[in-house]
């Protein structure tokens, strides 16, 4: 069965989040998964491929949760605000260690690196979700609205990982509410 592959990805994610990606050795990952290094390399051609697989697994889970959440919130505005609950859950799940994707991009800053590309794909997917919601909510400029929501979500994640408790998401949700309500009613403000 392919249980081994899942255990390897789970173990890798646990170590990546608690120690960092670069510093985590493949032997430690294999040991935590209860297998040998050779077995790891029979499932993944390289450590980089394992990292990308971890990110894609997380991205898959994320998309599932987004779909489930949006199905429960037919109203677009309510759906947008539900994103803050999703982010908050992910922050708590990883013990406030920050966003796995942002951390990965920090450790692999070269834009062309496969890990960096996987991060960009994930964040791009989130932005597209938000833009679609803003579109169906009928705001005047869906692109800007999605951008604003994305800023608030990412900022909450960073702030929450920097010692603030998860209450930051409540603040961010309030700002989003205020911001969305005023969208479409004004053109110039500053």
Partner DNA sequence: CCTCAATCTTACCGGTCAGTATAGTCATCT
Partner DNA sequence: AGATGACTATACTGACCGGTAAGATTGAGG
152's contact among DNA, its own copies, none, with CB below 5 to 8 A by partner kind, is its own copies
Distance CA 155, CA 161 (A): 10
CB 89 within 8 A of CB 68: no
Q: Does residue 43 interact with DNA by CB under 7 A? A: yes
Q: How far is CA 41 from CA 11, 27, 137, 183, in A?
A: 15, 10, 47, 52
Stretch that binds DNA, among 34-42, 60-68, 117-125, 133-141 (CB under 7 A): 34-42
Query: 106-145 mask for its own copies (x: CB under 8 A)?
Result: xxxxx--------xx--xx-------------------x-
117's contact among DNA, its own copies, none, with CB below 5 to 8 A by partner kind, is none
CB 32 within 8 A of CB 14: yes
Q: Does residue 158 interact with DNA by CB under 7 A? A: no
- Coil, strand or helix: which one is 46? coil
Residue 72 CB burial class (10 angstroms; 0-12, 13-18, ≥19): exposed
Stretch that binds DNA, among 17-25, 54-62, 72-80, 106-114 (CB under 7 A): 17-25
Residues lying near DNA in the complex (CB under 7 A)? 3-4, 23-28, 34-39, 41-43, 45-48
């Amino acid at each position: 069965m392919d249980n081994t592959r899942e255990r390897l990805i789970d173990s890798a994610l646990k170590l990546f989040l608690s120690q960092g990606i670069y510093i985590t050795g493949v032997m430690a990952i294999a040991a935590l998964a209860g297998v040998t290094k050779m077995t790891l390399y029979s499932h993944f051609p390289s450590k980089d491929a394992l990292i990308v697989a971890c990110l894609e697994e997380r991205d898959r889970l994320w998309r599932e949760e987004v779909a489930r959440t949006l199905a429960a919130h037919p109203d677009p505005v309510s759906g947008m605000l539900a994103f803050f609950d999703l982010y908050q859950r992910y922050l708590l799940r990883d013990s406030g260690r920050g966003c796995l994707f942002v951390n990965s991009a920090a450790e692999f800053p070269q834009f062309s690196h496969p890990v960096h590309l996987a991060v960009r794909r994930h964040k791009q997917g989130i932005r597209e979700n938000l833009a679609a919601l803003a579109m169906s909510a009928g705001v005047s400029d869906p692109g800007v609205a999605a951008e604003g929501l994305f800023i608030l979500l990412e900022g909450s994640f960073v702030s929450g990982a920097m010692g603030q408790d998860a209450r930051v998401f409540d603040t961010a949700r309030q700002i989003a509410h205020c911001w969305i309500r005023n969208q479409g009613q004004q053109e110039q403000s500053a």
